[in-house]
Structure 1
Amino acid sequence: MQERSVIRSMHGVLTVILLMLVSGYVACQYFYNTPPHDIFISKKKLSDSICLYVTKYDEGNASVSDIYRFYLDKDEGNIDIMEKLRERSPFLETNTPAVTASAYGNTVNIKITGKVYSFTNSDLFYTDGIAVMPIINLVANGTRD
């Protein structure tokens, strides 16, 4: 009889622990996968098939530095590009929007003077159903703050 109550107690404790783990995992996934609160800054056409879009994190304050995110995509015209960019990951995150960007074919060259928080040299988007995977070359000169 006493063994049954011990087993029931342990089962209840284990159930509560598993519920806490699952709810913690779900909360972390929600927190880390929510799209950033950005505002659109600029658009620059680099080549026939590639445009550079720049956004800025909008919820910063005096203790949060400016974060600029750079995306490569096709020219979307005059549609609301922010809805599309929220589904994408930026290839570059910096503290300055001032970059020199150029492209030749599918090769994109980026020059920046400032802090680079995140960079990946691969990106992928679709233009008229055709996958475009530009080659990204970055030249970054740091600043001393």
Structure 2
Amino acid sequence: MQTAMVIKWAHRSFTAILVIIITAVAVNFCLTHQPYNDRIYHKQQLTSSLWLYITQYQHAAATDTEVYRYYLNHNITGDPLETLTKTAPFMTADRPDATVNALANKVTVRITGKIYSFSNSVFFYDDKVAVMPVVDLYASGINNWR
């Protein structure tokens, strides 16, 4: 009888601790994963069905570098930020002046600067048709001592 009661209370305590941990992780995730606070910096048509969108982070501190996010999508009517916040950028960099060219479904990106993240996997829908362009990246570093 005593053993069953100890096991029951140990189980209840363990379950309560797990609920507290899971709740804390969920709250932390919601607080730290807010949507980007960006503005549209540049919009450019690459092909008849492929557009480049560059956004700029608006609240960088004085000592932080600028952050620019590069997106590929179809021509978005209305506010593009609503659509772009639901997708991931294919490149995040500290420079907005990357040269981006496209031929059919192949996109070439040339940039000099710091790249924070890059993915050559881009996916979006254009009138219920899946579009998956191939992205090639040519990057050059910069000399910080000049």
TM exceeding 0.5: yes
RMSD: 1.9
Q: Does 1:133 align with 2:132?
A: yes
SS in 2 for 1:24: helix
> d(CA) in 1 for partners of 2:129 and 2:8?
59
For 1:40, the equivalent position in structure 2 comes to 40
Q: CA deviation at 1:63?
A: 3.2
Using the TM superposition, give the Cα deviation of residue 32 of structure 1 relative to its aligned residue in structure 2, in angstroms. Answer: 5.1
In structure 1, what is the Cα distance between the partners aligned to 2:8 and 2:64?
50
- 1:40 shift after superposition: 1.1
Task: Return the offset for 1:8.
Answer: 5.6
Q: State the percentage of identical aligned residues.
A: 35
User: Aligned partner of 2:113: which letter?
Assistant: G
Letter of the 1:141 counterpart: S
Name the residue aligned to 2:61: 61
Q: What is the CA distance between 1:113 and its match in structure 2?
A: 0.6
The letter of the residue matching 1:21 is I
Alignment match, 2:95: 96
**Alpha-carbon shift at residue 140 of structure 1 (Å):** 0.6
Q: Are 1:74 and 2:74 an aligned pair? A: yes
Distance 1:71 1:17 in 2: 42
Cα offset for 1:50? 0.5
Shift of 1:25: 2.6
**Structure 1 position 124 matched with structure 2 position 129:** no
Quick one: distance in 2 between partners of 1:140 and 1:71?
17
Structure 2: segments with no counterpart, 5+ residues: none
Give the TM-score taking structure 2 as reference length. 0.88
> Whole-Å Cα distance in 2 between the matches of residues 62 and 99 of structure 1?
23
In the TM superposition, residue 16 of structure 1 has moved relative to its aligned partner by 3.0
Instruction: State how 1:11-50 maps to structure 2 within 5 Å.
Output: 11-31=11-31, 33-50=33-50
What letter matches 1:122 in structure 2? S
Q: Which residue in 2 is equivalent to 1:107?
A: 106
Moved more, 11-20 or 47-56: 11-20
Q: Name the amino acid aligned to 1:87.
A: K
Shift of residue 56 of structure 1?
1.0
Gaps of 5+ in 1: none
- Give the deviation of 1:97 after TM superposition: 0.5
Cα offset for 1:81? 0.4
Number of matched pairs: 144
